[in-house]
Structure 1
Amino acid sequence: MTSANVDPRTPVLVGAGQFKQRPEVPVEALEPVAMMAEALNAALADAAAPGLAKRATHTWVVKGAWPYSDPAALLNERFGIAARTGLSTDGGHVPQTLVNMACNRIAAGQADVVLIVGAEGIWSRRRARRAGQRIPYTGQTDKAPDELLGVDVVMNNEVEIERGLRDPINVYPLFESAFRASRGETVDGHRDRIAAMWESFNRAAVANPYAWVRTPMTAQEIREPSPTNRLVGFPYTKCMNSNWDLDLAAALIMCSAETATAAGVPADRWVFPHAGTDGRDTDHVSNRDNLHSSPAIRVAGRRAMELAGVAADDIEYVDLYSCFPSAVQVSATELGLGLERELTVTGGLTFAGGPLNNYVSHSIATMAGKLREHPGSIGLCSANGGYLTKHAFGIYSTTPPQHGFRHEDCQRDIDRLSSVELDAGYTGRATVEAYTVMHGREAPEAALAAVRTPSGRQWARSSDPSLMDEMQQSEFVGAGIVVNDSFEFASG
């Protein structure tokens, strides 16, 4: 089968564009909607069919840290098109979920051309504010989009927030300790390994012209704390955390095969989504069966491969969502990819950049370029929102899918799997299941721990300096502790 004789309703990615700005005078930066327009222009140029925008039936924007209420309408106005507008909910899974949604609608004849765009201008906005200046933004706060794309999920309960699990920087290092213990690694050996893995991500970023951080770094420089690389949540230094202090934009153009042909998109620009899946783990981390794995990634990720008719060893290029090392390792393990292979095409959210919800738009755009450079190869992109909570997968190739695009929402199968109850009021003896030590700029501030009780899972914390120091030197997963009435813990 060739692109010339595929089913007319086969969805195809025909344009991928990225944009990066770092002006010397921050107040001269483009506002985010203008950045989106630049990325979309790049995607149209990439498709070699400038008139394709006029055929758009839908313009969808990935939600960002800006005040526009319907940025897709602003883009429609700039490009002179009358497409239906959409704005996503929050989550790093969103771009791949939108691609899956676009493919389903295109295949069903409910859409012809879908423009998917996102941008963040956090770097320039922050620096302009520091200088007492303001980047002018287009005013728009009262227009609602035609569609709200996705469903918001409340991912923290009151107990988790109260005990210190407020943000991803608190939660992902907990997963890291649980993953380390599941493999039987030593604390130091594990730190060496994840630093080496992140060095490989840095190398990919250095080679990526759209990466935000392209300064080469060694594993040692990534691993060890320094004045510019402080510890954040042990064992993570700053250079192992997602970086959203950046100005990046990306756009994807999806359409049907018949529309691509009619618009004159050259066949060598066509990248076919073969399969996509979606699913999520328990909304609250408190209810996960364990903290070193992800049933949703296992079920939805492997199902994507089954729908595409490929095995892990058939996939030449991979970009796993990489907000923190634990996310990469859990995903690779669940998908059967192995931790030794290359797991990014961009450089990941630390180095390529983590523009809030829009990273995977960059991931897919970069993947499209890789697959075009190597026709017939297969690529997989994973997307993750929350705390290993919301997941989406896509498998791509320049070769048309034998049975058309195939998609599945895997939630029913995921929901059948076991979970754990939160034992919020428990005090007494318990066993550490996962932990981290959170650091301020000068010193460690609090140890956070997930502990197993006779009836479920409890969260506890400690600010004992000697205990925090010990927890960073030796393995505490599996250790016995005592939780007091204030839900603080001590060795026991």
Structure 2
Amino acid sequence: MSTPVLVGIAHIEQRITDWTEGKEPLDLMIDAVKAAVRDTSTELVPQIDAIHVIGGLWQYKDPAAYIAEHIGAGKVETGITTLGGNMVQYALSQSALEIQRGTKRVVVITGAECGNLAAKARKAGAQPNWKNAAGDPDRVFNKGGFGSNEHERAVRLGGATNWYALFENAIRSARGESIVAHQTRISELWAGFSRVAANNPDAWIQKEHSAEEIRTIGPGNRPVTFPYPKLMNANNSVDMAAALVLCDTETARSMGIDESLWVYPWTSTHGTDTAEVSHRDNLYSSPAIRVAGNRCLQLANLGLSDIDHLDLYSCFPSAVQVAATELGIDQSSRGLTITGGLTFGGGPLNNYVMHALVRMVKLLRSNPDNKAFVTSNGGLLTKHAFGVYATTPPDKPFQYEDCQEEIDLMPKRAVTDHVGTATVESYVVMYQGESPAHAVIAALTEDGTRTWGMTQNEEDMLDMTRSELIGRTVQIDADRMATFPASA
């Protein structure tokens, strides 16, 4: 049985002022792979057995084949993942298992997004003409699914920004916080992420933002949803690429790769919450994180106190809080990110975790006795992957476990179209410019069934941002329009 080990890493940023000056994602991936190979200080390219690419917003069909050709690799297995922030860790764990079984020796994983370039092109009224990278990959990595149903679509509840804000308001209610206290706390949480980014040379935004700056609406920090202004949202307007080189220890030794560069994956787990949010038991927890996250540490025979470097997936504050709660982490007593998160470290969509892993490897190389725990999240707090890493080999061979069977036993909730009164469970207010434009309300009927309503009433929407409406009675009509009866 072989032992998988990470031996090469690369992180690349592209900072441009004119979209025509920039490289497209595929070319950034090539640069990242070449840099990761250079990181090993060996001529490793002829030994590569597989190149796997994390799926992105681009339209490439078989980008791995194009990369292989342009780095001078021979015939390699090409792979691509489906979408999801969990897919970096999942692709890595499956590659580690194949190396452990001896079916692969050297695997390269890479990904890139050019959200900054694309945004600049849109502003200029232009459309970048990116390569096709035609062909069919040898394999497609797919793990976990998520989607919406007719109830959610009927109230125009779509997009991660809206869903995670809905979760955030549910968290506030579950904690019994006032709106002011809640805004203060989550802005302080996010200010901690900004402080880490300010000291991370790979972070996209290295200017430190205070909690007051983060929670205060103003120029450069427009309202997006309630309770999230722009500085509490993932920052996808980045041009970033990363690459990892994974091989077996025998190959690493035979190639002369310095053992001070080695980082071992110890354990990995995966679990998926109920795909349609409407059917989840509540809107502020994650059984999948609870089961799979804790199982990953258990397989490694480690507790949280043994973890020196922790990175909780951080697209929005609600994702961090749910993960911390389910894993039993005191959010005020330890660091929760090694990058600064997707707002400040940079959020290249599905590939963020690869940048977290690159940062993790750098930290472990500098602190050889340390251990790291990295979490992943895809969809709407839906698909979760976890990994433990160290510079020392694990006591047992690399372990991977799919925790879905236990997760599927957790309670679920029915959903219905309901006409009549219900109790507000959570809500989200969506903005157009500086003004609220549309709000969606999750509510529970008398028998505990979830239902959905919506409103564009300006006074009601403003009231949602000023007063606690969760727990209030809401009236929903046949068109799903919601009104709030006057309090007795």
TM-score normalised over the length of structure 1: 0.95
CA distance in 2, matches of 1:54, 1:128: 37
Question: How much has 1:172 moved relative to structure 2?
Answer: 0.4
Q: 5+ residue gaps in structure 1?
A: 1-7
Q: What residue is the counterpart of 1:27 in the other structure? A: 20
Q: Structure 1 residue 466 and structure 2 residue 459: aligned?
A: yes
Question: How much has 1:152 moved relative to structure 2?
Answer: 6.7
Q: Once the two structures are superposed, what CA deviation does each residue of 1:328-383 show, in whole Å capped at 9, x if it has no partner?
A: 00001101122112111111111111112110010111111111111121111111
Q: Structure 1 residue 351 and structure 2 residue 344: aligned?
A: yes
1:306-455 equivalences under 5 Å are 306-340=298-332, 341-423=334-416, 425-453=417-445, 454-455=447-448
Contact 2:28 2:241 in 1 (8 A): yes
1:56-455 equivalences under 5 Å are 56-81=48-73, 82-131=75-124, 135=128, 137-141=130-134, 143-151=135-143, 153-340=145-332, 341-423=334-416, 425-453=417-445, 454-455=447-448
CA distance in 1, matches of 2:373, 2:396: 18
Question: How much has 1:427 moved relative to structure 2?
Answer: 1.3
Find the residue that maps to 1:74 and give its secondary structure.
helix
Question: How much has 1:154 moved relative to structure 2?
Answer: 4.2
AA matched with 2:371: I
Q: Structure 1 residue 15 and structure 2 residue 8: aligned?
A: yes
With over 3 angstroms needed to count, the CA separation of the structure-2 counterparts of 1:459 and 1:210, relative to structure 1, is same
Question: How much has 1:71 moved relative to structure 2?
Answer: 0.4
Contact 2:100 2:248 in 1 (8 A): yes
Q: Once the two structures are superposed, what CA deviation does each residue of 1:118-159 show, in whole Å capped at 9, x if it has no partner?
A: 001121233245446665533333x01011111573411122
CA distance in 2, matches of 1:154, 1:185: 30
Contact 1:90 1:152 in 2 (8 A): no
Question: How much has 1:183 moved relative to structure 2?
Answer: 1.3
Name the stretch that deviates more: 334-343 or 292-301: 334-343
CA distance in 1, matches of 2:478, 2:32: 54
AA matched with 2:230: K
Sequence identity (%): 43
Contact 1:60 1:87 in 2 (8 A): yes
CA-based RMSD: 1.4
Find the residue that maps to 2:224 and give its secondary structure.
strand
CA distance in 2, matches of 1:62, 1:170: 25
TM-score normalised over the length of structure 2: 0.96
Runs of 4+ in 1 over 6 A off after TM superposition: none
CA distance in 2, matches of 1:363, 1:191: 27
How many residues matched? 482
Name the stretch that deviates more: 264-273 or 205-214: 205-214
AA matched with 2:313: Y
AA matched with 1:169: T
Name the stretch that deviates more: 439-448 or 285-294: 439-448
Q: What residue is the counterpart of 2:47 in the other structure? A: 55
Q: Once the two structures are superposed, what CA deviation does each residue of 1:86-134 show, in whole Å capped at 9, x if it has no partner?
A: 0110101110111111111111112111100000112123324544666
Name the stretch that deviates more: 429-438 or 293-302: 429-438
AA matched with 2:377: N
Find the residue that maps to 1:413 and give its secondary structure.
helix
Find the residue that maps to 2:407 and give its secondary structure.
helix
CA distance in 1, matches of 2:122, 2:317: 32
With over 3 angstroms needed to count, the CA separation of the structure-2 counterparts of 1:34 and 1:379, relative to structure 1, is same
With over 3 angstroms needed to count, the CA separation of the structure-2 counterparts of 1:139 and 1:177, relative to structure 1, is closer
